[in-house]
A and B are shown apart, each in its own frame.
Chain A
Amino acid sequence: MPEQCQLQVEGTFPVTDSALRELADDPSSRKRFFKMLGGAGAVSAFSIALAACGDDDDEKDPAPAAKSPDDSNQSDLEILNYALTLEFLEADFYDKVIASGLVKDPKVVTIAKKFGSTEQTHVEALTATIKKLGGTPVSAPATKFEPTLDKGLKAVIETAATVENLGAAAYLGQAGNIKSKEVLASALAIHTVEARHAAALNTLAGRGFGDGKGGLKGALPDGAFAKPMDMKAVMAAIKPFLA
C-alpha cells in the first residue's frame, strides 16, 4: 500500500511528516518514540500507523497481540468495528465522488483525493487493530450515495461535511468508553483528523462561524466545545447512506 502511505510533505511545515517517516523506517527512532510515550502501550498505538503503511518489520511487538477476545477487549472491539463501519462509509463516499467527475475545481479535487486516501488508511489501520486484538473486522457496508450524487456538487460537499462532522462526533462519543489506552491513543489520533476534515469541508460548504448549535450541519468550528454523539444517534444519522 505504498500509495496510501504517502504522506504529504509541505515545505512550510516539515516537522511532522518527516518525523513519522523516520519512525516508520528507523527502528531505533521508533524505540525512542515508544520510550518517549512512556511504555509498551505506545507500540500498539503506533503500530496502527505502521500497519496502514504496509510495515514489514518483524520486530517483536510487546503489545497484546494475538490475544483471544475476552471481556476486557470485547467492548473495545465493538467500538473499533463501529469506527471501521464509519470509515468504510467515508472512504466509499470519496471514491464515488471522485469517480462521478462532479468535482472540477482542482483544489477541491486535491482535498477530496487526500481525504479519501486518509479514510482508506483509517480503514486499514482499524482492520489491522481489530485482527491484532483477536476480533473479526466487519465487512464494508453496502452504501447508497447515488441520490446525493444526483443532486450535484453543492449537495455532495454538504454531505461530505455532514459525514465528517458525524465522524468527529462519533469518535468523541466513544473516547470515554474505550478501555485500552493504546486503542484510545489511536482513536484520538484519528478523531482530530476527522475534525480537520470537517472544518475544511464546512468551509467549502460555505458555512460561517457558529455558536455550537449547528449540529451536523454546523459551522466552521461549531462553538468552543465539540459535541459527542452516541452510537445510536450516529447509526440513525448514517442510515440514509446505507443500502
Chain B
Amino acid sequence: MASSRLVAPELATIKVHGMTRESFLLRSTLAAGAAYGTLSATGLISKAIAESSSGDVDILNFALTLEYLETEFYTLAAKDVKGLSDYETKLTEKLRDDESKHVDALTATVKDLGGKPVAKPTFDFGGAFGSRASYLKTANTLEDTGVSAYNGAAPMIESTDVLAAAGSIVQIEARHAALIRLVRNVAPAPRAFDKASEMDAVLKAVKPFIAA
C-alpha cells in the first residue's frame, strides 16, 4: 500500500513489533481472508499468520489510540466547554472516567500479551470546545466512530479473552453514543445494525484531531 493513500500518516508511523500500520493492514486483510477461507491458495502465508498472535496486539493498540483520543477529548471538554447543563457536565465527567479506564485496561492487556503499548498521540481538537453544540456534535462523531471501529476490528481478534474485553468496552461506547445523542435530541439508535468500520475509515474520521 502506498503511503500516499494513507489518510493519517501520523498513525502509520506507529510501530508495533517492528511493523508499520501499513503492514498491519495488509496482514489484517490476509488474516481475514485466511479466516474466511478465501486465500486457500496462499497456504504458506496463512500458516505464518496462524502461528503469530501479535495481530491482537495491533488491534488493541489501534483501540488504545482511539481511547487516548476520547479520554483527552472529555478531559478538555470538562474544563473548557461553557454552557453545559448539570447533567451534561456529569455526563462529560463520567465519559472521561470511563474512557480513561479503557486506556488503562487496553494498556495492561497489550502488556499482558507481551506487546508494547502505543504512546499517547498529541491531539488538537480545534474549535470543538467553542460551544456546547460543537462539543456534543464532535462527541457524537467520536462515540459512533468508536463503536464502528471496535465492531469492525473485533471479528479479527484471535483470543477469546481479548474479544471478551473488546466486547465489554464496545458495549459501553455504544451506551455513550446513545447518551450523547439523547442530549443532542437525535435518535439514540438510528440503525438496526451498527456499522463496522474498516480502519482507514476510522482514521479518516479521527484524523482532524491528531496533531502528532
Interface status of B176 (Cβ within 8 A of chain A): yes
Flag the segment in B12-20, B96-104, B111-119 that touches A.
B96-104
Interface status of B59 (Cβ within 8 A of chain A): no
Residues of A in contact with B (beta carbons under 8 Å apart): 7-8, 10, 12-13, 16-17, 19-20, 36-41, 45, 48-49, 52, 111, 114-115, 117-118, 121-122, 125, 168, 172, 175-176, 181-182, 184-186, 188-193, 195-200, 203, 209, 220-221, 223-228
The A/B interface has a contact count, at CB < 8 Å, of 206
Assess the B94–A228 pair: CB atoms within 8 A. Answer: no
From known contacts A184-B154, A209-B94, infer whether A176 and B193 are also in contact, taking CB-CB under 8 Å. Answer: no
From known contacts A193-B191, A200-B189, infer whether A38 and B28 are also in contact, taking CB-CB under 8 Å. Answer: yes
How many chain B residues touch A (CB < 8 A): the figure is 65
Q: Interface 1/0s, chain B 19-43, versus A by CB < 8 A?
A: 0000000001101110111110000
Q: Give Cα distance in the complex from A48 to B161, angstroms.
A: 26
What residues of B have a CB within 8 angstroms of the CB of A220 in the complex?
91, 94, 175, 179
Q: Give Cα distance in the complex from A141 to B23, angstroms.
A: 49
Task: With both chains docked as a complex, state the minimum distance between the C-beta of A226 and any C-beta of chain B, in angstroms.
Answer: 4
What residues of A have a CB within 8 angstroms of the CB of B152 in the complex?
37
Task: With both chains docked as a complex, state the minimum distance between the C-beta of B107 and any C-beta of chain A, in angstroms.
Answer: 14
Q: Interface 1/0s, chain B 31-61, versus A by CB < 8 A?
A: 1110111110000000000000000000000
From known contacts A38-B29, A196-B175, A228-B167, infer whether A16 and B191 are also in contact, taking CB-CB under 8 Å. Answer: yes
What residues of B have a CB within 8 angstroms of the CB of A38 in the complex?
28-29, 31-33, 36, 156, 198
Assess the B194–A225 pair: CB atoms within 8 A. Answer: no
Assess the A16–B144 pair: CB atoms within 8 A. Answer: yes
Chain B residues numbered 175-192 whose CB sits less than 8 Å from any CB in chain A: 175-179, 181-182, 184, 186-192
Please give me the residue from chain B that is nearest to A227 by CB atom. Answer: B168
Given A16-B148, A19-B195, A193-B174, 16 further pairs, Cβ under 8 A: A8-B190, A10-B190, A20-B195, A41-B36, A41-B38, A49-B192, A115-B189, A192-B147, A193-B193, A195-B174, A199-B175, A199-B179, A200-B182, A200-B189, A226-B169, A228-B164
From known contacts A16-B190, A185-B196, infer whether A192 and B173 are also in contact, taking CB-CB under 8 Å. Answer: yes
What residues of A have a CB within 8 angstroms of the CB of B141 in the complex?
13
* Contact partner, B172, options A20, A40, A185, A226, Cβ 8 Å: A226
Assess the B191–A7 pair: CB atoms within 8 A. Answer: yes
Assess the B151–A189 pair: CB atoms within 8 A. Answer: yes
What residues of B have a CB within 8 angstroms of the CB of A37 in the complex?
32, 152, 196, 198
